[in-house]
Amino acid sequence: MADKPNIAIAGITGAVGQEMAKCLEERDFPIGKLTPLASARSAGKTIRFREQDIVVEELTKDCFADIDIALFSAGGDISREFAPLASNCGAVVIDNSSAFRMDADVPLVIPEINPDDAGKHKGIIANPNCTTIVTLMGLNPLHRQWQARNLIASSYQAVSGSGAAGILELEAQVKAIAGGNRVETNVYPHQIAFNVIPQVDTFLENGYTKEEMKMENESRKILGIGEFQASVTCVRVPVYRSHSVAVTVQFESIPNVDKARELIDAAPGVDICDNPSEGLFPTPLDTTSKDNCLVGRIREDIVLENALTFWVVGDQVRKGAALNAVQIAELLI
C-alpha cells in the first residue's frame, strides 16, 4: 500500500458518502488522489475537499485502475456488481452495504474490537450494520471481562438510517400536522412524526426483521462467539440522527456495575455517561456528529442471572458507517 493511497468513494452524493469524505479530511488521512463516484445523474457535480472542488465521476467498471482503497456506500446491488471489479483491479474495497458481511472470506471489522481481522482480507472488507456497531461498542469492553453469552435489545433508530428520504418525510409530516393538513406516508408504512414504528427492514419467516437478525449474525462473526444469541426488536423513532439501543446482556461470569463503568470508560471509541441521579445519561443529540458512542443507565438486570442492562447511543451515519470505514482504511496503511 502506498504511503498516500489513491482513494475512491462510491456513493459520494449520499449522506454516508459525504460523511466519509468529511472523516477523511478531518482525520488528515494521507491521500494521493480522491476520486468521487456516483450514478450518471450525479456525474459532473462537484464536491469540496481540502479546499478544492473535485468533479464527481460516473461509477463504471473502468473507474478503479489506479485506486488503492475504494470506500463503497451505494447500496448492496451496486456493491455486488462493482466491488469485485474494484478488487480485481487491485483496490481494497471497504463496503458499507450488507452484500458481503456474512461471506466467510470477507472480514467484518470494527477497528476497536477486531482490527486484526482486517489483515485477513482477500480484496474486500465489510463494514457492519450501524446498529450492530453502536451496540458492540458498548458491549465489547464488558465481553472481554466476563464473556457474553446472549443479548436482548431494543433499538431506537433515527430516520436518517433511511437516507435523506426519511428525514424529509419526518419534516414534511411535522409541518403538515402543525398546519392542520393531511399527513402523507411514503418511506414508512405508518406515520413517523410523533410516532414509533416497530419495523426496520423486511420481516422474515421467524417473525424477526432482517435488521434484527443482523445483530445476532454479525455479532457472532465480530466477537467470534459461535453460540451467541440475540433477541432484538428494532424500532424507527422520530429522531433525525443517532441510534440508541437498550441492551441486556448475560455473561458467563458474574459482572459488576462499577467495574463495567471503569471498563467502558477506559475503552477506545466509547465513553461513560452514567449518573442518573443528576440527569446524566446519553441521548441522541449528545452523539450527533461525534466520533464516540456513549453508554449509561448501567445496572444489574433483575430477571436474568449474571446480566447487566445498559443504554448505548451513537451516531449511525458517523461511527455506525462512515467513520468506521475510514478507520478500517487507516488499518490498511
Active site residues: 130, 243
Residue 23 and residue 49 in contact, taking contact as beta carbons nearer than 8 Å: no
Residue 111 and residue 330 in contact, taking contact as beta carbons nearer than 8 Å: yes
Residue 302 CA, distance from chain mean position: 30
d(Cα 154, Cα 185) in Å, to the nearest integer? 24
Torsion of CA 300, 306, 309, 310, to 10 degrees: 100
CA dihedral sign of residues 302, 305, 310, 316:
negative
Residue 299 CA, distance from chain mean position: 25
Q: List the one residue out of 141, 114, 138, 142 whose CA is nearest residue 127.
A: 114
209 pairs with which residues across the strands?
A: 203
Residue 317 and residue 16 in contact, taking contact as beta carbons nearer than 8 Å: yes
7 pairs with which residues across the strands?
A: 34, 69
Angle at 328 between CA 248 and CA 62, to 5 degrees: 130
d(Cα 110, Cα 112) in Å, to the nearest integer? 6
Q: Residue type at 286? A: D
